[in-house]
Amino acid sequence: MSSSENWAEGGALTLQATLPPQPTSNRAKPYQQKVYIKKPANLAGLRAAEKLARLLSGQVIAEKFTWEEWGTKFQASSSCSEAIARFEKHYLNQGGSKDTWNGDYWKIYKRLPKTAAVSPDVFTALTEGTIPNTRTRQRTVTALATLAKFSGIDWNGKHLKGSYSPQKTAPRELPDDREIADYRESLNRSRIRHGSGCMGSWPAMACETMRFFT
């Protein structure tokens, strides 16, 4: 028996259920996927979503579900630029912000080859071009996996994501105040000592300070 759930994403409701693979997917068996229904995340939207969820469930049980009927129209030969344009339109229509699009998605997508067809190989190549176990690598995988899912491409990049964590960043070892003061006193030239004192007391750059004390 099939079941579906309501989810709020980007200010709009979506349905999630075990559904047949999309036309451009390499998967052979049904798996958990989302259907974007463009209903607002409020009481009226929830009631409409519940009706659509029952319709969706009935179609799946009767083996009459088609992605085309639910507004999904993908072409296997879509170029990266075409896929990005469709996803941007969809993302903004669903309530996503332009700032988030530019910072979390377009920043990654603009490095994809515009005329190349969207494919797992293209996504993998872009990901492998980033430094492993970094925040950039993780953000790249997340953004590309989102585009892949929207485009019906079977790619999630989890094996490339790495193990980056802000908590794993090595702490810097800085000298304490006593060590800084001792080093300053060890300087031979008085002007250099005065200059370093100014740099330590005020947010002055070395080039600004040395102009007056050398």
Q: Where are the domains of the chain?
A: 12-69, 80-166
As a whole number of angstroms, the distance between CA 16 and CA 153 comes to 17
> Average pLDDT, stretch 17-43?
79
Q: Is the model's pLDDT at 30 over the cut of 50? A: yes
- The confidence band for 170, taking pLDDT boundaries of 50, 70 and 90, is low
- The confidence band for 2, taking pLDDT boundaries of 50, 70 and 90, is very low
- The confidence band for 52, taking pLDDT boundaries of 50, 70 and 90, is very high
As a whole number of angstroms, the distance between CA 16 and CA 32 comes to 7
> Average pLDDT, stretch 53-74?
84
Cβ distance 83 to 92 under 8 Å? no
Residue type, 20: P
Give the pTM. Answer: 0.48
pLDDT at 173: 73
HSE at residue 194, side-chain half, CA atoms within 13 A, is: 10
As a whole number of angstroms, the distance between CA 200 and CA 189 comes to 17
